[in-house]
Amino acid sequence: MDIRKFVLTTVLSVHIVMRSEERYLKDYDASRFASPIVTVDNVLFSLDNNELSVLLVKRANHPYQGTWGLPGGFIDMTLDESTRDTALRKLVEKTGVIPPWLEQLETFSGKYRDPRGWSLTTAWFALIARTDCQPHIESVSDAKWLPTHQLTQQTLAFDHGEIITHALNRLRQKTRYSLLPVYCLAEEFTLTQLQEATEIILGQAIQRKSLIRRFEASGMFEDTGKSKATGARKARLYRRKEGVDIHLFSRNLLNDTAE
């Protein structure tokens, strides 16, 4: 075939396909298909009085009106470009600040999880220092921190108890292979505070030497040049380096005797 004819034919074919898709999209009627209820839910963890706690909000509307559940809600298609945007928007509404760590957990779906009908929610889990958001939370009556060990004593909306359990497992698993608990601490912190946060999340003691090796090898932190009085001694204050991602280790912290 003549090369000019080939090019002309190809261009014409592409143009016809594009016109066909434009026509298809113009005539497309989304209402022909049943749509599930789509929401976003957040599991926000922090350390409250030396306990790992999760933020709950009291539902103002049916279903489950007056019941505690996770902060979340419907996607606003005029504001949110992604479910991450929805998660951040809902967290800021309840805490007043953007959490330093936010990670997608998983999607929970089914026809029985919401009495209104078939639904799915994209769940995210986040970490924040309690001191950063507590003033905002204390100003509202529909939010509270609940220690995770008390979850079985609390009736929660929908399948939020199951979602929190999945988030707890993810948090503890990642803590074994990273320094993720640092996102529960204030901007400036001591190594002892990081160790305590890690032990609270894992529910058991860790070797300080192993933590220090990881701290130094991660490349995530810098010395502030300041110190904090801790009894008769002073401890150095550190902070996360700006723009540095979390470092993942190959060894489980609980089995780490030498790296």
Dump pLDDT digits (tens) for 67-103: 999 999 999 999 999 999 999 999 999 999 999 999 9
Taking residues 14-38, report their average pLDDT.
75
Q: How confident is the model at residue 229, as a pLDDT? A: 83
> CA-CA distance, 57 to 42, in Å (whole number)?
11
- pTM, two decimal places: 0.88
Is the pLDDT confidence value at 12 over 60?
Answer: no
Summarize pLDDT for 100-145 with one digit per residue, the tens: 999 999 999 999 999 999 999 999 999 999 988 888 888 777 899 9
**Structural domains present in the chain:** 37-174 (3.90.79.10), 181-255 (1.10.10.10)
Q: How confident is the model at residue 178, as a pLDDT? A: 98
Is the pLDDT confidence value at 31 over 80?
Answer: no
